[in-house]
């Protein structure tokens, strides 16, 4: 896609990006990141180019305005002198020695030295002659009048160009800000996608473990890994005197007392009773019994009346993949 289209007044960067994202086949997040990165670079280069053009145009406009003012001042001076009784040459020559004498007297009084005072007076005399000759005799009145009109038109055109450049720079800067925000958002999505891929890979690896044959502490350690992978804070209880609770898991302020049963046979009432008692002892919000086998009907009935969560062997994979929640 052509980045130059971004500068088309009929297009907006959001419409441009929407058209890119809706194309078929849909671009990947990595492709979108590369595009946005290239876009930011291109816009930055374009901003630099347009800034140089705007600066050049501003300088031209400034010098043109100065030229107009000089021409205008030249015309006013001539009109003023022509209205007096003095010829133009008198205006050139008469003030020159007077100004030179004043400069000589002032510089001599300051104490810079007689020689420097003479040089200053001579510079003043020659400067006045040069200035007045330029004002009164450089270009005829007709030439000054004729040059003022195109200069004024040029100044107006340059002022319009300066405003247009300012608007374009403002638009480009807005697009740079928007593109940077989109780039940051895309990179966050990529990071989250990579994290999700890693989580999925870890969960898949956990699900492929031989958890059905695990017994006792081995199954506890396995479930500790599972819950940590699911984002839970996990506490282990002492191996002896655990009050019927093997793990305490917490997430979003909710604490759950978990009893782990790595069994070959069915898990009965006592596990539910112990988990329920352990919940009160450890001041948890809920209790749960997890086994890689099955529960007896009596355990299921007791769990229903006490509100204890039961997870059997057929639900372990769902627990790992978040299809089963606590």
Of residues 12 and 189, more confidently modeled: 189
Other Cβ atoms less than 10 A from the Cβ of 56: the count is: 12
Q: Which residues contact 206 (CB under 8 A, 6 or more apart)?
A: 222, 225, 226, 229, 320
pLDDT in tens, 123-173: 988 887 787 777 666 666 666 677 777 877 888 888 888 888 888 888 888
Of residues 290 and 172, more confidently modeled: 290
Q: What is the CATH number of domain 211-320?
A: 3.40.1350.10
pLDDT in tens, 80-136: 777 776 676 776 677 778 888 888 888 878 877 878 888 888 998 888 778 777 766
**Cα distance between residue 86 and residue 80, in whole Å:** 10
Half-sphere exposure of 74 (CA within 13 A, CB side): 23
Please report the pLDDT score of residue 19 as a whole number. 74
Burial of 242 (0-12, 13-18, 19+ CB in 10 A): middle
**Start and end residues for every CATH 1.10.287 domain found in the chain:** 1-208
Give me the phi and psi of 315, to 5 degrees please. -110, 0
**Cα distance between residue 317 and residue 95, in whole Å:** 106
**Start and end residues for every CATH 3.40.1350.10 domain found in the chain:** 211-320
Half-sphere exposure of 293 (CA within 13 A, CB side): 15
Domain 1-208 has CATH 1.10.287: yes
């Amino acid at each position: 896609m052509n980045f130059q289209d971004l500068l088309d007044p009929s297009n907006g960067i959001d419409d441009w990006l929407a058209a890119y994202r809706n194309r078929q086949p849909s671009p990947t997040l990595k492709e979108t990141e590369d595009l946005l990165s290239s876009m930011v670079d291109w816009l930055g280069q374009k901003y630099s180019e347009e800034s140089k053009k705007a600066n050049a145009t501003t300088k031209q406009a400034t010098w043109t305005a100065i030229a107009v003012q000089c021409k205008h001042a030249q015309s006013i001076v001539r009109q003023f002198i022509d209205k007096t009784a003095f010829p133009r040459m008198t205006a050139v020559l008469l003030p020159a020695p007077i100004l030179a004498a004043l400069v000589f007297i002032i510089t001599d009084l300051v104490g810079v030295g007689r020689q420097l005072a003479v040089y200053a007076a001579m510079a003043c005399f020659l400067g006045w002659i040069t200035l007045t000759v330029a004002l009164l005799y450089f270009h005829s009145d007709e030439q000054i009048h004729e040059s003022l009109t195109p200069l004024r038109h040029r100044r107006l055109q340059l002022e319009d160009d300066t405003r247009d450049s300012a608007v374009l720079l403002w638009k480009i800067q807005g697009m740079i800000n928007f593109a940077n925000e989109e780039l940051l958002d895309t990179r966050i999505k990529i990071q989250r996608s990579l994290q999700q891929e890693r989580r999925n890979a870890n969960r898949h690896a956990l699900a492929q473990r031989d958890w059905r044959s695990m017994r006792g502490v081995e199954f506890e350690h396995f479930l500790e890994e599972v819950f940590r992978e699911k984002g839970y804070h996990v506490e282990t209880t002492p191996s002896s005197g655990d009050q019927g609770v093997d793990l305490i898991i917490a997430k979003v302020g909710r604490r759950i007392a978990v009893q782990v049963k790595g069994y070959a046979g069915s898990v009965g009432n006592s596990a539910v009773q112990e988990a329920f008692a352990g919940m009160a002892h450890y001041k948890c919000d809920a209790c749960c019994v997890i086994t890689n086998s099955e529960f007896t009907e009596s355990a299921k009935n007791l769990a229903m009346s006490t509100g204890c969560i039961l997870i059997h062997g057929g639900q372990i994979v769902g627990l790992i993949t978040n299809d089963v929640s606590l």
